[in-house]
Each structure stands twice: as C-alpha cells, then as structure tokens.
Amino acid sequence: MAEKKYESKDIVVLEGLDAVRLRPGMYIGTTSSRGFHHILWEIVDNSIDEISNGYGDTIKITLNKDGSATVEDNGRGIPVDIHPTLKKSGVEVVYTTLHAGGKFNNENYKFSGGLHGVGASVTNALSKWCKVTVNKNGKKYFMEFHSYEDEKGKMHSGVPVAPLREIGTSTTTGTSVTFLPDPKVFGDQKFSFEAISRRARELAFLNKGLKIELYDENTGEDEKFHYEGGISDFALYLVENKNCLFKNPIYFSAESKILFLEVSFIYTDSYTENTFSFVNNIPTTEGGMHETGFKNAFTKAFNNYARANNFLKEKEPNLLGEDFREGITVIINVKMNNVQFEGQTKTKLGNLEAKTEVENLTLQELSKILDDKKNATIAEIIINKAKQAAKVRLAAKKAKELTRAKANAENFNLVGKLAASTSRNREKNELFIVEGDSAGGSAKQGRDRSFQAILPLRGKPLNAEKKRVDQVLANEEIRTIISALDTGFGEDFDLSSLRYNKVIILSDADQDGAHIRAILLTFFFRYMRPLITDGHVFIGLPPLYKVYKKDYEKYVYSDAELADAVKSVGKGYMIQRYKGLGEMNPEQLWETTMDPEKRTLIQVTIEDAAEAEKLITTLMGDAIEERKIYISEHANFDKEDNFMKEYKNI
C-alpha cells in the first residue's frame, strides 16, 4: 500500500473560535445539561470575579422567553478602548479570542475563577448569537456576535456583526450579556431554574454581601440571594435539619501574601464529617492541598488544647483527625492567585504552597479562638465528642478487621451470596446488587457470567445516615457489599482495589425498591463517595410494563412511554405490569435490564455536594417534619392515576 503523503497543506487551521465549535467537549466537558449550563456560568463567573475583587455588589440573571439568558452586573464594565496590539476593542478581544482576558496577571484580578481566559469567548462560540452591552465612562456601548454557516457549508463561530459602537449615555457602570445557546450544539435544551438557583445560592454564600437576583420570564419564578453572614450562613443552611451541639458556627478569616482564607464550622450529633471546600468560588469536590492543610492544623490545635487543659492524660495517645471531625460541617473558602487545579474539571487544588499557608493560618486563628475563655464550653463539647468517636473508631477497627479477615479467607462472607464473574478485567466487570433472592436467582441465570457478577440482598441494608460506623459495620448486608467491592470503606477506602467498573443497583420499581436504592446510595455517599464521584455507580431500569398481543410485544420503561406503546400496537393489546424483578424470567431480565446492548442505566453523579448533603439529611435523617414538607412539595401522588386515566381514554 502506497504511503499517503503528509504535507503542510494537510494541516487544518481552525480560525477564531471554530476550534471550540468543532470540539466543544474540550472546553465545557460535555454538551449535555452540565455543559449547557456551563456556558452560563462562564459569564456569571466573570461578574463574580469583578465583585469578589471589590467592584460592584449585584448580579441579575434572567431566563428569557426565547431561550436566551441575560447576565447583568454593576462592576467596572469590560474595557472598551482599543487593544494596543490587536487593534480591536476590549469587548471584541474578550469575546472572540481564546486565552484573552485580564486574569493572566494579578493587576486587575487578584482572585479569579476563570483562570484559563476562555470563558466569554467559549460562550460566544457556542451561541447562535450573543449581545454585549457595557456601561462605562458615562457612556453605553453595544456589540453583537453571531454564528452562521456560509454558502459553502463552512461554520463561522462568534463573529462580530459590527464593531463596538457607542449607543448612548449612562450614569452606571457594568456589563450585560445576553446569549442564545446554539441548538446545533445543544439540541433543544432549556435552562433549569432549579439548577441555576442552587449555584446562585452557593455563590451568594461564598461572597459575603453579594446580591444575586434570578428571574424566569417563562414561569414567573424569581429568587433573591443575599447573605451578610457569608459562609457562616452557609454552614447553618446545611445543618438546619440536624441537631446542633452549639448555636452559632465558629468563624475565622486570615490572609497571607498568597491567599485569603475563611473557615466556618459547626457540629451536630451525627456521625459523619462534611467538608465543603472552594477555591475562588469553584467547588473543589476532590479536596486538595487547602483541605489537607486545614485538617492538619485543626487536629493539631485541638490536641494541643486537649493536653493543655487536661482532657488528655499524659499517657493517652493523641486523638486522630477523624475523631475531631466526626459530626462537623465545615466550609473552607480560599481565594488566591496563580491557582493550579488538578485535571480538566477543576475539582482538586494542586498548589503545594496552599497546604503550608492554610495550615499556618488555621493553626494561628484556631489557637486564638480556643484560648479565648468564652469558647471553653464549645471546646469541651467538641473534645468530648471526639473522645467518644475514638472509642467507636476502635470498635469499628475490630469490625473492619473481622470483615477483612472474612474477605481474605477466600471471601468467606460471600459464599452462597455472590455469583462472581469469571473475568479478571476490572474495566469490563459489573456488579449487580439485586433486591431479593428471587430476582437474584433470575439475574444469576440470565447474566453473562464472563463479566457480570450478582449480589442478592436478602434483607434491607442499614440506613447509614442514622447509625454509628460500628453499627453500620455490624449489618450483614453492608459487610457483604464491602467484601464484594474489596475497596474498604470510610478513611480506609481505596478506589484502586475496586473489582468492578460498574456497580449497578437493581431493585423493584415500587416503594420498597426505591427505599433500598436510597439506603445504598446513602451508604456510598457517606462511606464510599469516590465510587460516585468517579462514575462507578449506576441504577438499573427494569421495565414497568410489557405491551403485547399475538405477534407483537414491547417493553415499556416509564409511564410516559406506555401511552405511545399502546397507540402503536393498536386494538386487542394486553398490558402486563411488572411489580417486581422476580416476576421476570431470566431471559426477560437479560433482554430488558442486563444486556449492555439494550438496557438503560442511570449514572449516579454529584452535581452539587453541598445540596446532596442537605437532601440526604432531609430524606434519610431524623427530621421527620422536614421530610414530610419536602415530600408534600415535590411528590406527585396522582401521577399513576392520571396516566391510567390516559390509557383508558386511548
């Protein structure tokens, strides 16, 4: 075969923003809902950067009837003068040039979330049109961009319709941006008021005094967020459905040459730690150096205090960090320059110097707080809780050792329960956690044993939200899951030991099945969270119905699909309702729920760790009244009846 020549003419040069349009995933991660909303947050983040650096105090977000969104702030306004080398206005440079912005030195923005300088230009590139209005220097300026396909089929992304022009006078300052996400990129997606509201609330918490106003023209919904207490209000918001051990959160802030740190924490009578960290308003869900520095200093400060005040005797060992953090809800908010996030997703802080700075500042400020006699009662509450946690930890250690010993004895704990797969390829292997022996039997017979393992649950696992760690480990079903996954759990969790790339929860489509899913997800969230954050947890969707007649059958996976299926089959049809997995024979279970070519899986992700924490507390915790309120507001109890009426009318 003749070698194909590779010459300079073969190199494709993408002009302007065309690279963004060709490979949007490189810039926004995905074109699904997360990426769709990402281009809104790129604009909001620019406004946040203005305000967090001391310019302005209000951001208005409007979801317009035509599907576009408007973000308006009262900051300084994007520069409108001509760039000295590019010979274009500042607005045109910012919206048409990748890696252009005022954030690559520390003169205009000491702290910035949009470090890569691609935010505004990427939003423009992925929009059908984008309109920018700037109020600055007593004048009002306007510029519009659009994306279009020319007569040769070539796509042009984010092209200026005309140069920046002056359109009037203004007595205010700030920037207003309206953009319409391009359906050619995102399909027919719409902005979610709920999702935007969650993030807007978080930003308002993280920026004390910031006002964010959100309005949806389509529904009339509106929200206003403004928290003078900042992250202390955030901590109280997260624990409002829990029993707090003292009334007001502890708060401190401090600044060094390279970063600003603020921390707020409060304790509840729960048994788990909840740490939420942020860098320049970006959630660092995987933690990083700032979390490590804080935890080191926190442990040291409390051990020092415990010894100095005779809570720990001379021969007693120091308490561990996990002991001191049992029941804590803590917000760590860092703002710094020259941030280095690990990975494309900006979820882990990699700056080694941040560890040292945060550790020093935390030890300094926390020692002052503990030395203040008015805080003596709170310090005693925390230390006593930590000492009790240490006792439980030692009991749990014995339980862990027992679980590990059983697992090492050729999976003694799994004999007769786990139907293992024959393959050792962890990237391909799947574990189905199945509700009940009956369904487990069908799954074992119907599976592809080369890569699919089956673990039937013979009883309900324990609700990890309400129990101590030693009580959780005493539950046979929980121990079985830990042994099957082979990762350990809690502080000892090791994702590299995971035996299965996919962990699939397979339960009945009824109340008990939903409860089992909730219990398992709560356990994973509390003690094996990387399973979720790394994308290994899935929910299997068995069919709800089979619509059939003599020469036709169709499995239906939702009530919404049933009406369409009935229409397509015509008269003389029958409907079989599957109330449980055990009602399906092995062939049906494989065909509908387990066959990778045909099945539907829901991947479990954490969009917002703080909101996930609050929701799990509400639904799985002890606050019965709050749970009733949530259910009454969000559950549609008439759903099935309404659908059944619809079927009867077909």
Residues serving a catalytic function are 435, 508, 510, 512
Rounded Cα gap, residues 598 and 482, in angstroms: 29
DSSP one-letter string for 591-602: IIII-TTT--EE
* Cα–Cα distance list, 468 to 270, 461, 532, 617, 644 (Å): 8, 14, 22, 15, 44
Rounded Cα gap, residues 166 and 98, in angstroms: 25
631: helix, strand or coil:
helix
- H helix runs in 372-417, sequence order: 376-408
**Residue 607, Cα to own-chain centre: how many angstroms?**
2
Widest CA span in the chain: 85
Rounded Cα gap, residues 596 and 449, in angstroms: 13
Q: Of 27, 26, 25, 34, which is closest to residue 606 (Cα–Cα)?
A: 34
Rounded Cα gap, residues 608 and 613, in angstroms: 9
Buried b / exposed e over 233-247, threshold 16 CB at 10 Å, is bbbbbbbebbebbee
Q: Of 590, 555, 546, 545, which is closest to residue 454 (Cα–Cα)?
A: 590
Residue type at 152 in one-letter notation = K
Q: Return the ∠ at Cα 462 (arms to 458 and 466), rounded to 5°.
A: 170
